[in-house]
Amino acid sequence: MLMRLAVLSFWPRFWSALKDDMLEEIRIGDIGLEIEHAIAPRILFRWPLGPFEFVISDAVVVSWIMLAVIFVLAWLMGRKREMIPATGRQLISENLVDILLKLCKNAGMTYEQAETVVPFVGTIGIFITLTNLSSLFKIPPPAKNPAFPIILALLTVAYVIAISIHFVGLRGFWSSLIYPKAMLLPFKLLDFVIKPISLSLRLFGNVFGAYILMEFVYIIIPALIPGVIGLWFDLADGILQGVIFTYLSVTYIGEIVEGAHEAAHAHQERLQAQTAGKKA
């Protein structure tokens, strides 16, 4: 009987506490204006330069900060190296490099080519990941600004073309464009227009969408739930976008290198067939 009375008296007090302490945290107002204010680029500095104005936004400052963090991490991970690693930081850095080397080799590159590519794609992947993780500290990630993913995508595709030409030469690069049929050339050229669009839209769309969702959750229910949802949208998704960008960059290079090798192999087989036919 006492237990029943205790249970009956508990529920009214529970709902009263829920209403007074938690539900009062829910803010219902002009949500559209609040989200618009949250996602709008924040101009931190303005420097007039004659007829022009030099503008520094939050995306630029966060990018600079993360670049500084990368330099510090590189210094910490690379100093006092040993033939047989005895410290955790060297083991972590060597394992990360090893993963990237295997990724490049699986994409069709030789070990020497993979060693050349890893510094760039690794830096891009770490840079994107760290900038995305800034949202964990309520700092807007630079990728929510369309200029950030667009520039990264253009830089990456330019690097893909340049390093591929370095690996296989201009002739090999051209062969990869017309292999296996010359009629595919317009489509393969169009692919180099689509690649930066795809890279930038994927990064921008995921980060921007996650940021809007988290801002919406913070506005509606600022207690408890944002922390749980943020484990995916702020943490896991931020890391995932860096991994995807790195993987696609490596794949693009591997496609050209492998296409050039296949074209050269097919050309060699044709020459051998022609030589055998003449002898016959």
**For residue 92, what pLDDT is reported?**
82
Tokens of 230: 């943020």
Q: Is the pLDDT of residue 63 over 70?
A: yes
Per-residue model confidence (pLDDT) at position 27? 47
Tokens 């209403």 belong to which residue?
Answer: 19
Of residues 233 and 193, which shows the higher confidence score?
Answer: 193
Tell whether the model's pLDDT for residue 146 goes beyond 50: yes
Average pLDDT, the chain: 80
Closest CA to 154 of 123, 128, 192, 191: 192
Does pLDDT of 165 surpass 80?
A: yes
pLDDT, residue 106, reads 92
Q: Given a cut of 50, is residue 26 above it in pLDDT?
A: no
Band of pLDDT at residue 37, cut at 50, 70 and 90: low
Long-range contacts of 106-113 (CB under 8 A, 24+ apart): 106/254, 107/250, 107/251, 107/253, 107/254, 107/255, 107/257, 107/258, 108/254, 108/255, 108/257, 108/258, 108/261, 109/167, 109/253, 109/254, 109/257, 113/167, 113/257
Lowest-confidence range among 75-79, 116-120, 159-163?
Answer: 75-79
Is the pTM for the entire model greater than 0.75?
A: yes
Single-letter code of the amino acid located at 227: G
